[in-house]
Amino acid sequence: MEHNRQPRAGQHKVRLVMSHLSQQLIAQAAATTAVALPQPAHFQLPEKVLQFGTGVLLRGLPDYLIDKANRQGIFNGRIVVVKSTDGGDIDAFRRQDGLYTLGIRGIEDGREVEENVVCSAISRVLSAKSQWAEIVACAANPELQVVISNTTEVGIQLTTDDIQQSPPQSFPGKLLAFLLARYQAFGGDKDKGLVIVPTELIADNGTKLEGILLELAHRNGLDAEFIDWLETANQVCNSLVDRIVPGRPDEATQQALATQLGYHDNLLTISEVYTLWAIEGDERVKRILSFEQADAGVIVQPDINLFRELKLRLLNGTHTLSCALAFLAGFPTVREAMEDEQMAGFIRNLMLTDLLTGIPYAVEEKVGQRFGRQVLDRFRNPAIEHRWLSISMNYTMKMQMRNVATLLHFYQQQQAVPHYMALGFAAYLLFMRGTHEQAGNWYGEAHGQHYLIQDEKAAYFADLWARLEPATLVRTVLHNQNIWGHDLAALPGFADSVSHYLSQMLQHGVRATLATALDKALAV
The fold adopted by the segment(s) 2-301 is Rossmann fold (3.40.50)
The Cα–Cα gap between 208 and 147 comes to 15
Q: Residue 15's pLDDT is what?
A: 41
CB contact set of 196 (below 8 Å; sequence gap of 6+): 146, 147, 149, 175, 206, 209, 210, 234, 235, 236, 237
The neighbour count for residue 19, using CB atoms within 10 Å, is 13
The neighbour count for residue 56, using CB atoms within 10 Å, is 20
CA 158 to chain centre: 23
Tens digits of per-residue pLDDT, 299-320? Answer: 999 999 999 999 999 999 999 9
H helix runs in 220-361, sequence order = 224-233, 251-261, 283-288, 305-310, 317-328, 334-338, 341-349, 356-358
In CATH terms, is domain 305-523 a member of 3.90.79.10? Answer: no
**pLDDT band, very low/low/confident/very high, at 3 (cuts 50, 70, 90):** very low
Q: Residue 85's pLDDT is what?
A: 77
Taking CA atoms, 214 is separated from 20, 218, 230, 449, 477, in Å, by 44, 6, 8, 53, 43
The 3-state DSSP class for residue 111 equals strand
CB neighbour class for 418 (10 Å; exposed up to 12, middle 13-18, buried from 19): buried
Amino acid identity for residue 310 in this structure:
L
| Strand spans (E) along 109-246 | 111-119, 122-127, 146-149, 195-198, 235-236, 239-242
pTM, entire model: 0.83
Map out the domains of the chain as residue ranges. Answer: 2-301, 305-523
Residue 329 pLDDT > 60, yes or no? yes
Phi-psi domain of 501 (left: phi exceeds 0; alpha: psi -120 through 50; beta: other): alpha
Closest to 422 (Cα-Cα) out of 330, 492, 329, 367? 492
**pLDDT band, very low/low/confident/very high, at 16 (cuts 50, 70, 90):** very low
Residue 523 pLDDT > 70, yes or no? no
DSSP bridge pairs for 239:
279
Q: How large is the C-alpha radius of gyration of the chain?
A: 26
DSSP bridge pairs for 240:
278
Tens digits of per-residue pLDDT, 177-218? Answer: 999 999 999 999 999 999 999 999 888 999 999 999 999 999
Residue 5 pLDDT > 90, yes or no? no
Q: Residue 171's pLDDT is what?
A: 96
Task: Assess whether the previous peptide bond of 40 is cis (omega < 30° from 0).
Answer: no
The Cα–Cα gap between 349 and 421 comes to 10
**pLDDT band, very low/low/confident/very high, at 249 (cuts 50, 70, 90):** confident
Mean pLDDT value across the chain:
92
Half-sphere exposure (CA, 13 Å, Cβ side) for 198? Answer: 25
Residue 10 pLDDT > 50, yes or no? no
**pLDDT band, very low/low/confident/very high, at 29 (cuts 50, 70, 90):** confident
Q: Residue 278's pLDDT is what?
A: 97
Taking CA atoms, 301 is separated from 290, 459, 466, 476, in Å, by 13, 45, 52, 44
Q: Residue 159's pLDDT is what?
A: 92
For the ranges 5-9, 63-67, 109-113, the lowest mean pLDDT is seen at 5-9
